[in-house]
Each structure stands twice: as structure tokens, then as C-alpha cells.
């Protein structure tokens, strides 16, 4: 597999999810990543069940974000361990950290102090909130970011309570931004010799994920509302209950809708406003119930076959188990089995979706074991 970041060394001082995800991506791309944990371990090691059977009861949560890393335990209050950390920092190209500001200052791991001592060291800092806002010293979790960024107000059925997403997508976004920024900083250093401080606030990463919803609110000044599985700007673009299962239907063009409407027996001559997406969005209160009624009488397989034949985006609503294992009972190709020398067993993990020269970007090392 191509290893674009081979030869670079990264210290991962981060914990939980966003930072470790960023470091894992760098490891997948070939960087040597050393995960530094306190004697108590990364807190996510205890986030379960599920835990593995036997061994040191490693958590599935920890496994998802720490592939490809070497591990070391250091107690920053121990002078010997602190000197070892300083040695590692002097050898590294970059360091990833998500300490609370007070902790970073206490251990001398702020950008100013690290840059003064190691002028070529790139520092990537993940914070709950930006360093120049009143909330700077608050801890940040994905759940809190989803609540305060407006994500939860958009998620769920219109008459129900706000909901978080099923997975930690704010952490994922934050980790991707951090990895991208760190790689850009490496390129900048190659060109100029200058190290940069990369900072990604989790709250702002969540805000960035509002995308078209934020753009619409900024354009109109109007607050968006929850629509369940329906899209705020495209109709039809939602799930429909069919015989034998739910189908996600995403009509992306007026031509696609005309084909679907003809098949379902909708009269576009009588309802000319439905020929264009703006007209369908404005009249969604009448159109969506009609579509629900027509599609409810059809088998899910029949709807999916029709959509596939006519290039209309559609898919079955699957469970996680079905999504991972539905291909004739075999593992999906994104699942990568990694050999674990500590147990002699195989650890199945989701690899990066990134392909380099048709090869999956996935570091071969399993997540580091914790030496209690």
C-alpha cells in the first residue's frame, strides 16, 4: 500500500475520540504514531460494554480510533516520565493533544512553550471551544457539541424531542479537520521550514456540519425545523414504508420525479407545480402523503428494482448488522482483520474508506494494549 506519510513521527497525546481518530488516519497514511497514555489509560478503554472476551477486556470504543499506533504509558507528574516525553517531542514532527487549557499549561504543553523549545514541531490542538471565546476552558464532548450547535434541534420527528445522531459525528468531523489541517501544516513546513499551530474547536466543527441548513438560515433569517427523514430542500427525499421494509428514496432531478410519478400514477397535468423541485417543496404537505399511500402498497424489492432500472437513487433501510454482513453473509470489504500478537487472535476493524492506487488505507498494527 502507498504510504504518503512514511517517515513522519506523530505523538498522540489525545484521548477519547476526535483526536485519536485524527491520529489513526495519519497512521493509515503511513505515519509512525505513538499513543501516549496516563497510568489510568485513555478513558475510552473503560467505555463499555462491549469489551473483548478475556485478555485485558479491551473496549470496542477504544478499538475504533486507535489502530496503527504504538503505545506508551507516561505519568507527567513523574520527572523521569516527563523527561522521556520531552525526548519524544524532540524526535517528533507533530503532536496531537486535546488537553483542557489548564492541563496544557500545567504540563508545559501549550503551543507557545512547545514552539519556543521545538521550533519545527507542529502542534495540533483539539478543544471543546475556541481559545478566544468565554467558553474556552469548558470541556467538550460530542453530545454537548450536538446540543449547542443546533444539530439536535434538526434531528428527530417534528413533534418529538430533539435527538442526537446515532454516532459521534461531531467528533468524526473534528478529527477529519484536525488530520487535514495537520497534513497541510506538514506541507507548509516542507515549503517554508515554519511550524504551525493547528487548532480545531469541536463546537465549531459541529457548526460547520450544518452545511446547507446554516446557509439557508443565514440567507433567510428563518429558523430551520425538524422534518424527520425528509430533506428540507428536496422533495421527495425521505424514507417510505413499503411492504417488507422501509426504502430511502432520494429524487435528485425533475426528470427522475417525472419517471417516478408516471409509475405511481400521479397526474402532473393536473398538478404542474410538481414538475419542478421548488414546486414540490412548496406543496410537500399534499404531495408527500400521496407518495406514502402509493408506495405503501408496493413491495420494497419492487420499488428498489424500479429505481435501479431508471437511475433513481434509492436504498433499503438496514440495521447495522445487516449493513456490515448483508453481502451473502460475508464481511464487507471495509472490514479489515488485523493480527493481534498479544493474543494471537484476529481483530476485525473498520478501515478508512480512502483508497490509494486502489489499495485500502489501513495501518497494519492493532490498537496498542494497555500495560496496567
Active-site positions? Answer: 171
* Sheet of strand 122-127: strand arrangement: 69-73, 32-37, 9-12, 94-97, 122-127, 197-201
Secondary structure of residue 241 in the 3-state scheme: strand
Say how far apart CA 93 and CA 336 lie, in whole Å: 28
Residue 38 Cα to chain centre, angstroms: 25
The C-alpha angle 155, 300, 315, rounded to 5 degrees, equals: 50
Name which of 11, 18, 15 is nearest 201 in CA terms: 18
Say how far apart CA 125 and CA 103 lie, in whole Å: 13
Distances (CA, A) of 339 to 66, 69, 261, 349: 14, 14, 52, 11
Name which of 369, 327, 362, 328 is nearest 348 in CA terms: 362
Contact 291, 264 (CB under 8 A): yes
- What pairing do the DSSP bridges indicate for beta strands 122-127 and 197-201? parallel
- Say which residue the cell 495519519 belongs to: 26
Report residue 25: phi and psi, to 5°.
Answer: -65, -40
Name which of 25, 7, 13, 14 is nearest 354 in CA terms: 25
Strand partners, 125: 97, 199
Say how far apart CA 213 and CA 166 lie, in whole Å: 19
Instruction: For residue 352, give the DSSP letter.
Output: P
Contact 94, 186 (CB under 8 A): yes
Say how far apart CA 245 and CA 241 lie, in whole Å: 6
Amino acid at each position: 500500500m502507498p504510504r504518503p506519510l512514511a517517515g513522519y513521527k506523530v505523538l498522540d497525546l489525545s484521548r477519547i475520540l476526535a483526536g485519536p481518530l485524527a491520529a489513526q488516519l495519519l497512521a493509515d497514511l503511513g505515519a509512525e504514531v505513538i499513543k501516549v497514555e496516563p497510568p489510568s489509560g485513555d478513558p475510552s478503554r473503560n467505555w463499555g460494554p462491549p469489551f473483548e472476551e478475556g485478555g485485558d477486556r479491551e473496549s470496542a470504543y477504544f478499538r475504533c480510533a486507535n489502530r496503527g499506533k504504538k503505545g506508551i504509558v507516561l505519568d507527567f507528574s513523574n520527572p523521569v516520565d516527563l523527561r522521556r516525553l520531552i525526548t519524544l517531542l524532540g524526535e517528533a514532527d507533530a503532536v496531537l493533544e486535546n488537553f483542557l487549557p489548564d492541563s496544557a499549561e500545567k504540563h508545559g504543553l501549550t503551543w507557545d512553550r512547545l514552539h519556543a523549545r521545538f521550533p519545527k514541531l507542529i502542534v495540533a490542538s483539539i478543544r471543546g471551544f475556541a481559545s478566544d471565546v468565554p467558553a474556552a476552558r469548558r470541556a467538550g464532548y460530542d453530545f454537548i457539541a450536538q446540543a449547542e450547535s443546533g444539530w439536535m434541534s434538526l434531528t428527530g420527528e417534528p413533534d418529538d424531542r430533539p435527538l442526537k445522531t446515532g454516532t459521534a459525528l461531531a467528533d468524526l468531523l473534528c478529527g477529519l479537520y484536525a488530520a487535514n489541517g495537520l497534513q497541510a501544516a506538514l506541507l507548509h513546513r516542507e515549503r517554508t521550514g515554519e511550524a504551525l499551530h493547528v487548532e480545531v474547536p469541536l463546537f465549531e466543527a459541529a457548526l460547520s456540519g450544518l452545511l446547507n441548513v446554516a446557509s439557508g438560515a443565514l440567507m433567510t433569517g428563518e429558523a430551520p425545523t425538524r422534518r424527520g427523514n425528509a430533506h428540507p430542500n428536496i422533495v421527495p427525499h425521505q424514507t417510505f414504508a413499503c411492504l417488507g421494509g422501509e426504502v430511502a428514496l432520494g429524487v435528485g432531478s425533475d426528470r427522475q420525479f417525472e419517471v417516478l410519478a408516471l409509475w405511481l400514477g400521479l397526474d402532473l397535468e393536473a398538478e404542474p407545480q410538481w414538475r419542478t423541485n421548488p414546486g414540490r417543496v412548496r406543496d410537500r404537505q399534499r404531495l408527500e402523503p400521496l407518495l406514502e399511500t402509493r408506495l405503501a402498497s408496493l413491495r420494497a424489492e419492487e420499488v428498489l428494482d424500479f429505481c435501479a432500472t431508471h437511475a433513481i437513487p434509492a436504498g433499503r433501510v438496514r440495521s447495522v448488522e445487516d449493513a456490515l454482513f448483508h453481502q451473502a453473509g460475508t464481511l464487507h470489504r471495509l472490514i479489515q482483520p488485523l493480527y493481534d500478537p498479544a493474543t494471537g487472535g484476529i481483530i476485525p476493524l473498520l478501515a478508512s474508506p480512502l483508497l490509494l492506487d486502489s489499495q485500502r488505507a489501513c495501518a497494519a498494527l492493532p490498537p496498542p494494549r494497555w500495560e496496567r
